[in-house]
Chains A and B, each alone.
Chain A
Amino acid sequence: MRDAPHFLLGQTLRQPRDVSPTMTVLDYLRTVESLHGTKEGCAEGDCGACSVVLGEVDGDRIRYRTVNACILFVPALDGKQLLTVEHVSAPDGQPHPVQQAMVDCHGSQCGFCTPGFVMSLFALHHGDAEVDRTAVTDALAGNLCRCTGYRPIVDAALAAGRAEADQGSVAALAGLDTGATLSIHHGTQSYIAPRSVAELAEVLEQNPDATLLAGGTDVGIWVTKQHRALSAIIALDRVAELQTIATSGDTLQIGAGALYEDVLPVLQRYFPDFGVLLHRLGSRQIRNRGTIGGNIGNASPIGDTAPVLIALGATLLLRRGAVQRSIPVEDFFVGYRKTALEPGEFIERIDIPLPKSGQEFRCYKVAKRFDQDISAVCGAFSLHIENGILTAIRIGFGGMAATPSRARAVEQALLDQPWTEATVRAGMAAMDNAFTPISDQRASAAYRSRVARNLLFKAWLETSGAPARTRLAVAP
């Protein structure tokens, strides 16, 4: 057992005690460490002004990930290196190449968002990907700038290019993790980060009312925006078994704690459209913390992975103690933000049937803004056509009801019919009976309904040899 997180702040070991387990890393930096370079712009993980980099050992090197410090709790730093804008210059004050490029390209105006951009650029600069325009906009999707219009920042990223990071702290970082479970008691609050599924199952059975904390991209906001006091937290991010991604037979098995960013390339390989959607889910910072398990467990009606998983016929492996059970994703949501989880039960794994020969899959995220926006409507379609007849179809929608939903009535209208425009028009008519969406700040009910119908039409176009382009360029 370890009663305080151990992490490197820059190169220096920190083991903060007397810190609430729900103190955010941003507050920790600004108040405890008096490091004021990292800014608060929104306190909800949407603007990126608070972006910091977490280093973690990956083989014999350090892998850097940007995260939003404003919604990350301090205990999540356990075993990691935390780098802020104060740590990227050389010890003699010589600017880091991305800092110099930002100056040279006039990438800052008011400067308030700049430290966050610098950290995103730092991670990009020391990452594995080739630094081209697409990689840059992807890396910066979670950093808002209101002054520059981004062009000089993109130029700075391209000018700085890519380079290996100094690996001097690998050994120190590797030595931080002894495999011990972090268990914090602070006043009336407790925080425990189990290290195995068995330990997690046991701890949760003992504390069935505890808040399960995966990436914290939503739970963090409960604290920073809703000012909720969380008394007991069980963190999932140190359970290595929950992060495995594997195939078994004709099933893709994704640990509930696997990060979006890690799952993305795998899902993209099997279901290219799912990859496109995940690229637009949150931002790099969010995907570096968020998990599919969290997205499902959270049961938001506008979470983007649920409709896709419903269409793909995915099932969830749930576990309580030593008892496991499987449940189709569409049956998991029993009401607005209500799930089929029993007290003490958790999501262990998501099982997705691998694509079958002849299976067509399309999914669409429709939002006001291309990147880092919550969907007005998310629609997913998995279908099989044999000799012009639709022999199988599953349709999942988000944003159309109080839960992510399967559009069974629409499926019924389409199934075993010739895959023609007439059939699809009948399916579109059935859509209106299937859903009664709401109007809110993201879209009106009428828009949602029309888009839902049109997405079916678009899926048909794209699976019936449409003669013309149906998709906007992703990166114009």
Chain B
Amino acid sequence: MSTIPHDSAARHVNGRALYIDDMPEPPGLLHAFIHLSPHAHARIIRLDLTAVLSSPGVAAAMRAADIPGVNDVGPAFPGDPIFATDRVEYAGQSVFAVAATSIALAREAAAKAIIEYEILPPILTVDEALAAGTMVLPTQTMLAGDPDAALAAAPHRLQGRIDVGGQEHFYLEGQVAMAIPGEGGDMLVHSSTQHPTEVQHLVARALKLPDHAVICETRRMGGGFGGKESQASLPAAVAALLAWKTSRPVKLRLDRDDDMVLTGKRHDFRIDYDVGFDAEGRILGIDFMQAGRCGFSPDLSGAICDRAMFHADNCYFLPDVRIVSYRCKTNTVSNTAFRGFGGPQGMMGIECVVEDIARHLQLDPLAVRQRNFYGTDTRNTTPYAMTVEDNIAPELTAALATRADYAERRAAVAAFNAASPWLKRGLALVPLKFGISFTLTHMNQAGALVHVYTDGSVMLNHGGTEMGQGLYTKVAQVVAREFGIAQDRVKITATTTAKVPNSSPTAASSGSDLNGKAAQAAAVTIRERMAGVAAAAFGVSAEAIVFVDGQVSGGGQSLPFAEVAKMSHRARVSLSSTGYYATPKIHYDAATKKGRPFYYFAYGAALAEVEVDTLTGEYRLLRTDILHDCGESLNPALDIGQIEGGFVQGMGWLTTEELVWDAAGHLRTHAPSTYKIPACSDIPAAFNVEIYAAGRATEDTIYRSKAVGEPPLMLGMAVFFALKDAVGTQGVVTRFDAPATPERVLDAIR
């Protein structure tokens, strides 16, 4: 498959791509504002909205008691109230909402509420939650072999800890929804969501309506990154509730600060380890303690913490291993999906281990990594008993080391550092292996709907959503290829629960794997019907018919695709079909923690070189080299975009992006003025990114491509470990936490 531009690129650059806030506003539209809790933990003694309701421009207010249905938007478990009931459990929690003729009037009105709180002591950090034993979900243990015996017998042993910070999604388009009431109590919700089906179902439940009374539609998001998987539901529900109450359309767009305070982020983790290894640095046994800060509710934390466990190995064989996973409850925002979904945190733990082993043994970290790689026929079983069948980490890593001159540059860095007392350089080459599939097996399914019209134009719809990753483009490429028609003959349409029901979220990097296959199935069904019509006309068998270059041909005869579509219609052959796909082979037993949760693995590796100012802790990324496996890429330009964007986002997570809460539990970094995602000048001029040409999908994925949404984020780990390398001393293992802000870097220099 080949590179074509993103389907919306031309409209992105001329400003005519419509996001929800840009859509024509229906007459009578009201604007909603959510009042956020000022306290991290408090009982609500009194909530008086009288003055709110009489404020100018106000049409309605909603609180928990006003909800006709269920006051909960928890995606997997209950516990995420739309509005707080008798208590608030984090600073920023939704307490009530007001709809008025303008957002300014709604905000003014909300300030007039009389609320009395009895303040309760909050639990804010992982350490506090571990000490108090407060958990949102039961603690889990994954065990393989006998780690205690292996540790006891190991010739070398190290204990250590790394704290890995959270991350704000900072999608440029904040959370937004517009709810439009229809006749008979129906509700249409335009939501910037990665999971229209869940918005539909939760809005229906809140309104006490059957699912069929609610339609959720999503044309595009201005960024998602996991932050709109479950977190879009609350704004959508609030808009729908106010629309229901007023019988008027209601728009809710969160201001940036409110968005950052109200909605969940990547989990910060504390990871403790106890590792035994031999003199070559080969891991013999390991005991991990992973503790994730889930916030006040479960949300998706169960699956996220599971994925941290699944990735505690990264590319390395852990023969005897225990992973204990704590899902800590704190009085902070409920943390949620974020590109990698716990995987990055799990991988930071093992990468910290191999770096520490290398430091302790005074070995090159790359050598230690390579010695611990999974094997092909032996040493190829994960802690969850899945055989790694497609391991290319060793060859891919070797290829990158060669092409990026690792050995020469390692020597050059040492020489530079010997001559430079104030500036120090560091280098790290970090590989990654990421499991592809939702670990909740039933979510690995997708549907599509394809129509061919009698002029030969095609309309495509599927359950996946477009958040910038180019999913719509890739799936449209699949359909155009199956029909053998030009790309512009395939119309891409907004995702809507009215066309494809019960869809899974666009998450877990699964978008093109699932929806590409489902759309292919739909297209093939129609194509086979059309082939039958063409075969009859040409007097050949249907197997002899080919669809190429807009022509349907066979037996030396040829007709335009549109002509065969017209003929099919006249022959009373349906030109519309659904398509469906369910990922084969996967299974997992959550009780024993054994199975094959992943269809396959995606691989990549990054080499980063940094320079650190040892007087201030400031640093610059000098060069990056990346080799990443996309199988046979569906669209190399889009895949390169995912790789580069993921790397930079991962780098941001581990360097400048620092979430700071004060002692009372208020988030102090709630806008770009205080929360620093990478800027243009943070990327190096030498930014060498390649798709691994030898990459192959061993499983029957769509055209043998591989998922590329999440894995590249973890390439950013190379920058973190390059910084650790720059400030470290051989033989001395010291704790170095993420994000590596200049302050943390300076702290490491003593």
Q: Please judge, given known A-B contacts A84-B15, A472-B613, whether A443 and B743 are in contact too, CB under 8 Å.
A: yes
0 or 1 for each of A3-18: is its CB under 8 Å from B? (1 = yes): 0000000000000000
Q: Quick check: B19 and A472 within 8 Å, CB to CB?
A: no
The 6 A-B pairs with the shortest beta carbon distances in the complex, nearest first, are A37-B15, A110-B468, A112-B222, A111-B12, A149-B648, A109-B468
CB distance from B174 to the nearest CB of A (A): 8
* B453 interfacial by beta-carbon distance below 8 Å: no
CB distance from B441 to the nearest CB of A (A): 30
Q: Quick check: B672 and A146 within 8 Å, CB to CB?
A: no
- Interface stretch, picked from A194-202, A232-240, A348-356, A446-454, is A446-454
Q: Quick check: A149 and B647 within 8 Å, CB to CB?
A: yes
Q: Quick check: A46 and B422 within 8 Å, CB to CB?
A: no
Q: From A448, which residue of chain B is reached at the shortest CB distance? A: B743
Chain B positions 677-698 with a Cβ under 8 Å from a chain A Cβ: 677-687, 689
Give the residues in chain B near A440, CB-CB below 8 Å.
Answer: 660, 668
Q: From A110, which residue of chain B is reached at the shortest CB distance? A: B468
Q: Cα distance A108–B637 when bound, in Å?
A: 11
CB distance from A240 to the nearest CB of B (A): 31
* A269 interfacial by beta-carbon distance below 8 Å: no
* B603 interfacial by beta-carbon distance below 8 Å: no
Give the residues in chain A near B682, CB-CB below 8 Å.
Answer: 369-371
Q: Quick check: A36 and B15 within 8 Å, CB to CB?
A: yes
Q: Please judge, given known A-B contacts A147-B468, A371-B681, whether A44 and B671 are in contact too, CB under 8 Å.
A: yes
* B360 interfacial by beta-carbon distance below 8 Å: no
Give the residues in chain B near A136, CB-CB below 8 Å.
Answer: 680
* A434 interfacial by beta-carbon distance below 8 Å: no
Chain A positions 20-42 with a Cβ under 8 Å from a chain B Cβ: 35-42
Q: Which residues of A contact B (CB under 8 A)?
A: 35-44, 46-47, 49, 84-86, 88-89, 93, 95, 99-100, 102-104, 106-115, 118, 133, 136-138, 140-141, 143-154, 225, 227, 364, 366-374, 376, 440-444, 447, 450-451, 454-455, 457-458, 461, 466, 468-473, 475-476
Main secondary structure on chain A at its contact with chain B?
Answer: loop
A-B contacts, 27 listed (Cβ < 8 Å) = A41-B173, A42-B671, A85-B14, A99-B14, A108-B6, A109-B641, A109-B645, A111-B220, A111-B222, A114-B12, A115-B13, A146-B649, A147-B645, A148-B644, A148-B645, A149-B641, A152-B641, A371-B680, A372-B679, A376-B742, A441-B660, A466-B422, A469-B420, A471-B613, A473-B611, A473-B620, A473-B622
Q: From B661, which residue of chain A is reached at the shortest CB distance? A: A441
Q: Quick check: A225 and B9 within 8 Å, CB to CB?
A: no
Q: From B3, which residue of chain A is reached at the shortest CB distance? A: A106
CB distance from B734 to the nearest CB of A (A): 17
Q: A106-B6, A149-B649, A152-B644 are in contact. List 4 more A-B contacts (CB 8 A).
A: A107-B13, A227-B104, A472-B611, A475-B685
Q: Of the candidates A110, A369, A458, which one forms a contact with B223 in the assembled complex, judged by CB atoms under 8 Å apart?
A: A110
Q: Quick check: A43 and B423 within 8 Å, CB to CB?
A: no
CB distance from B633 to the nearest CB of A (A): 13
CB distance from A53 to the nearest CB of B (A): 13
Q: Quick check: A147 and B641 within 8 Å, CB to CB?
A: yes
Q: Quick check: A144 and B672 within 8 Å, CB to CB?
A: yes
Q: Cα distance A47–B8 when bound, in Å?
A: 22
Give the residues in chain B near A43, CB-CB below 8 Å.
Answer: 255-256
Q: Of the candidates B15, B422, B620, which one forms a contact with A461 in the assembled complex, judged by CB atoms under 8 Å apart?
A: B422
Q: Please judge, given known A-B contacts A109-B6, A368-B742, whether A441 and B669 are in contact too, CB under 8 Å.
A: yes
Give the residues in chain B near A103, CB-CB below 8 Å.
Answer: 5, 9-10, 13
Give the residues in chain B near A476, CB-CB below 8 Å.
Answer: 611, 620-623, 684-686
Chain B positions 384-411 with a Cβ under 8 Å from a chain A Cβ: none
Give the residues in chain B near A113, CB-CB below 8 Å.
Answer: 172, 222
* B746 interfacial by beta-carbon distance below 8 Å: yes
CB distance from B7 to the nearest CB of A (A): 11
Q: Cα distance A115–B173 when bound, in Å?
A: 13
Q: Cα distance A65–B611 when bound, in Å?
A: 34
Most buried by A among B21, B223, B640, B680: B680
Q: Cα distance A96–B668 when bound, in Å?
A: 41
Q: Cα distance A103–B7 when bound, in Å?
A: 10
Q: Quick check: B746 and A118 within 8 Å, CB to CB?
A: no
Q: Quick check: A47 and B645 within 8 Å, CB to CB?
A: no
Give the residues in chain B near A148, CB-CB below 8 Å.
Answer: 641, 644-645, 648
* B117 interfacial by beta-carbon distance below 8 Å: no
Give the residues in chain B near A472, CB-CB below 8 Å.
Answer: 423, 611, 613, 618-620
Q: Quick check: B656 and A368 within 8 Å, CB to CB?
A: yes
Q: From A467, which residue of chain B is reached at the shortest CB distance? A: B421
Most buried by B among A110, A141, A225: A110
Q: Cα distance A88–B681 when bound, in Å?
A: 26
Q: Which residues of B contact A (CB under 8 A)?
A: 5-6, 8-19, 21-22, 104, 107, 169-174, 220-225, 255-257, 419-423, 467-470, 611, 613, 615-623, 637-638, 640-641, 644-649, 656, 658, 660, 668-669, 671-674, 676-687, 689, 741-743, 746-747
Q: Cα distance A471–B420 when bound, in Å?
A: 11
Total A-B contacts with CB atoms under 8 angstroms apart: 267
Q: Quick check: A109 and B220 within 8 Å, CB to CB?
A: no
Q: Cα distance A227–B109 when bound, in Å?
A: 13
CB distance from B606 to the nearest CB of A (A): 12
Q: Quick check: B14 and A86 within 8 Å, CB to CB?
A: yes
Give the residues in chain B near A150, CB-CB below 8 Å.
Answer: 648, 678-680, 683
Give the residues in chain B near A151, CB-CB below 8 Å.
Answer: 644, 683, 687, 689
Give the residues in chain A near B681, CB-CB below 8 Å.
Answer: 137-138, 141, 370-371, 475
Q: Cα distance A439–B673 when bound, in Å?
A: 17
Q: Quick check: B14 and A112 within 8 Å, CB to CB?
A: no
Q: Cα distance A141–B684 when bound, in Å?
A: 14
Q: Quick check: A110 and B679 within 8 Å, CB to CB?
A: no
Q: Cα distance A373–B742 when bound, in Å?
A: 13
Give the residues in chain A near B22, CB-CB below 8 Å.
Answer: 36
CB distance from B335 to the nearest CB of A (A): 18
Q: Cα distance A108–B220 when bound, in Å?
A: 13
CB distance from A465 to the nearest CB of B (A): 14
CB distance from A346 to the nearest CB of B (A): 27
CB distance from A410 to the nearest CB of B (A): 16
Q: Quick check: B742 and A366 within 8 Å, CB to CB?
A: yes
CB distance from B234 to the nearest CB of A (A): 20
Q: Cα distance A49–B17 when bound, in Å?
A: 14
Q: Quick check: B19 and A112 within 8 Å, CB to CB?
A: yes
CB distance from A68 to the nearest CB of B (A): 11
Q: Quick check: A441 and B668 within 8 Å, CB to CB?
A: yes
Q: Quick check: B656 and A369 within 8 Å, CB to CB?
A: yes
Q: Quick check: B613 and A109 within 8 Å, CB to CB?
A: no
Give the residues in chain A near B11, CB-CB below 8 Å.
Answer: 111
Q: Quick check: B12 and A41 within 8 Å, CB to CB?
A: no
Q: Cα distance A466–B615 when bound, in Å?
A: 14
Give the residues in chain B near A108, CB-CB below 8 Å.
Answer: 6, 8-9, 12-13, 468
CB distance from A295 to the nearest CB of B (A): 15
CB distance from A364 to the nearest CB of B (A): 7
Q: Quick check: A39 and B172 within 8 Å, CB to CB?
A: yes
Q: Cα distance A441–B669 when bound, in Å?
A: 7
Q: From B423, which residue of chain A is reached at the shortest CB distance? A: A469
Q: Cα distance A49–B660 when bound, in Å?
A: 25
CB distance from B608 to the nearest CB of A (A): 12
Q: Cα distance A368–B674 when bound, in Å?
A: 9
Q: Cα distance A460–B266 when bound, in Å?
A: 43
Q: From B667, which residue of chain A is reached at the shortest CB distance? A: A441
Q: From A46, which residue of chain B is reached at the shortest CB distance? A: B672
Q: Quick check: A44 and B467 within 8 Å, CB to CB?
A: no
Most buried by B among A89, A145, A473: A145
Q: Cα distance A89–B16 when bound, in Å?
A: 12
Q: From A84, which residue of chain B is reached at the shortest CB distance? A: B15
Most buried by B among A149, A151, A372, A373: A149
Q: Please judge, given known A-B contacts A144-B677, A147-B223, whether A457 and B15 are in contact too, CB under 8 Å.
A: no
Q: Of the candidates A49, A371, A374, which one forms a contact with B679 in the assembled complex, judged by CB atoms under 8 Å apart?
A: A371
Q: Please judge, given known A-B contacts A44-B673, A147-B641, A151-B687, whether A368 and B680 are in contact too, CB under 8 Å.
A: no
Q: Quick check: A42 and B680 within 8 Å, CB to CB?
A: no
Q: From B615, which residue of chain A is reached at the shortest CB distance? A: A454
Most buried by B among A118, A147, A471: A147
